Amino acid sequence: MLQRRLALASLAVLALPACGFQLRQAPTFAFSALRLSGNEGSLTSVALRRELQINGLRVLTSADPAAPAAVKPVVLQVLVDQRERAVVGQTASGQVRELQLRTRFRFNLQTSDERFLIEDTELLLERDLSFNETQVLAKDAEELLLYRDMTNDIVQQVVRRLAAVDKV
């Protein structure tokens, strides 16, 4: 009985590659340098710059000197990067019971000769947060954690979209 279970388990492991299962690989980009323009100091832009550099991409900002002639960076323009907080639930006495947190990020990607590789794209993430006035400090920490998770999700989505660009 034990041998039969081991045989089935090994057969299942061997069948995984045949079904197309593959671990996510590090992204590869069709360009070697990227200039980040727009809202460069925002938390999302800083996290995006760090993630792109980790993945081997040279990231320039407007403060950096001009790129060498051999390197023609594409331009990632951050159009909107904002966080929103809205009350969606109240008690009969008007006390806040539920909040909705939103992170909105709009960007586009252009070549150095202003040809669009990615048109204006908006990413909007929403999270619900229950609120209790007796736990204000804990809810503030939870809110910061939710915003950080949304920022990480947006960064990963942008990196995947940049990696999907075929040619420059």
Give the model confidence (pLDDT) of 130-155 as tens digits: 888 778 888 889 989 999 999 999 99
Number of domains in the chain: 1
Q: Which pairs count as long-range contacts for 159-165, CB under 8 Å and 24+ apart, including other chains?
A: 159/27, 159/48, 159/51, 159/52, 159/55, 160/27, 161/118, 161/121, 162/27, 162/29, 162/34, 162/52, 162/76, 162/109, 162/118, 163/27, 163/28, 163/29, 165/29, 165/30, 165/31, 165/109, 165/117, 165/118
Any domain includes 21: no
pLDDT, tens only, 28-59: 888 889 999 888 888 999 999 999 999 988 99
Q: Which domain holds residue 114?
A: 28-163
Any domain includes 9: no
Which CATH number covers residue 44? 3.30.160.150
**Closest CA relative to residue 37, chosen from 93, 92, 87, 78:** 78
Any domain includes 46: yes
Any domain includes 7: no
Any domain includes 51: yes
pLDDT, tens only, 46-99: 999 999 999 988 998 776 666 555 567 899 999 999 999 888 887 778 777 889
The separation between the first and the last C-alpha atoms of the chain, rounded to the nearest angstrom, is: 58
Contact 38, 48 (CB under 8 A): no
Any domain includes 91: yes
